[in-house]
Amino acid sequence: MGKPQREETMKSPNHAWLFDVDGVITHPEKKQVVRKGIFTEIIKRLKLGEPVALVTGRALSWVMERVVNPLSSEIDDKTVLDRLFVSGEFGASRIQWKNGKPFHGIDSSISLPKKLAEEARKAAEAYKDTQHIDPDKETMVSIEMNDGLTVDEFRRNQLPLAKRLNEILASQNAERKFEVHVDRIATNVRHKAINKHYAAQQVIRWLSKIGLSPKQFFAFGDSAGDREMADELHREGKAVTFVFVGHKEELGSKGKGYKTVITEEQCDDGTVEFLKSKES
Ligand SMILES: [Mg+2]
């Protein structure tokens, strides 16, 4: 009585968990989940009613095959997955569950226009000796390094392609919204708005939709860029700790206004170390 309906239906689990995937959940080189403890720790939290989000730049099909399907196979009651959210392509695509059934969504306002995607793919064809198009990306075009190349060999061919892609953006007057993003093993043509800030916003939105208001958030990453998740949660007034499982010297500047924990062990080992020490 007296309380607004919304407050009465909002549940407040003690914790919410956000994980980068590569090098945090999966082994950095094997690109698979090799630490058994990862699933055990995640399932324990889902069963307690604590929300878990996987936040990655990868295509959803990659995350489903290597992480979510093996995780799900260890859960009998699939409604436990209603507490899981998978954010792919830096927030542009997502999977969530209702009554144990998955729903797939795409942010079409963020997707590359068809003509731009076609031209970008065509340009990439000329570089197929050194790089290939990721067929699974839904909202962007990613051109990745072929196996067996050194990073230097790849880079010599990557930069001319990036230049060509920038010319295509310019010719279609698309530079205001879209960008060519170059990293160590891939070139991405993508919307400028997508990053881990954006993905963390999607997680916040999902939580409010399912009526959860967690007391404390933990965001895990192995790259400095993963801090964007913690920055965004903090900006939204959430209590957050950033758990860094990467190389200490790559962490960069300290986050402002929230706690950062650096684990002793690294990558997936660091994730298990922290989760075990922090019993819910
Ligand atoms: Mg990573």
In a domain, 3, yes or no: no
Q: What is the 150 CA–ligand 1 centroid distance (Å)?
A: 20
Q: What is the 37 CA–ligand 1 centroid distance (Å)?
A: 18
Q: What is the 219 CA–ligand 1 centroid distance (Å)?
A: 12
Number of domains in the chain: 2
In a domain, 271, yes or no: yes
Per-residue pLDDT tens over the stretch 86-144: 999 999 999 999 999 999 999 999 999 999 999 999 999 999 999 999 999 999 999 99
Beta-carbon contacts of 234 under 8 Å, excluding residues fewer than 6 positions away, are 240, 255, 256, 257, 258
Q: What is the 222 CA–ligand 1 centroid distance (Å)?
A: 5
What domain range is 127 assigned to?
A: 114-191
Q: What is the 90 CA–ligand 1 centroid distance (Å)?
A: 12
Q: What is the 267 CA–ligand 1 centroid distance (Å)?
A: 8
Q: What is the 73 CA–ligand 1 centroid distance (Å)?
A: 24
Where among 191, 216, 251 does a domain terminate? 191
- 236 and 123 in a common domain: no
Output the average pLDDT for the chain. Answer: 93
Q: What is the 159 CA–ligand 1 centroid distance (Å)?
A: 23
- 83 and 59 in a common domain: yes
Instruction: Evaluate whether 99 touches 149 at the Cβ level (below 8 Å).
Output: no
Instruction: Evaluate whether 212 touches 13 at the Cβ level (below 8 Å).
Output: yes
Q: What is the 22 CA–ligand 1 centroid distance (Å)?
A: 4
User: What is the spatial distance between Cα 166 and Cα 43, in angstroms, rounded to a whole number?
Assistant: 44
Per-residue pLDDT tens over the stretch 195-235: 999 999 999 999 999 999 999 999 999 998 899 999 999 99
C-alpha distances in angstroms, 174 versus 32, 113, 186, 194, 256?
Answer: 36, 9, 20, 15, 34
- 121 and 94 in a common domain: no
> What percentage of residues in the chain have a pLDDT greater than 90?
83
Pairing of strands 84-88, 52-55: parallel
Where among 173, 191, 209 does a domain terminate? 191
Ion ligand 1 — residues with CB < 5 Å: 20, 22-23, 222
Q: Rounded to a whole number, what is the largest CA-CA distance in the chain?
A: 69
> 142 - beta bridge partners?
188
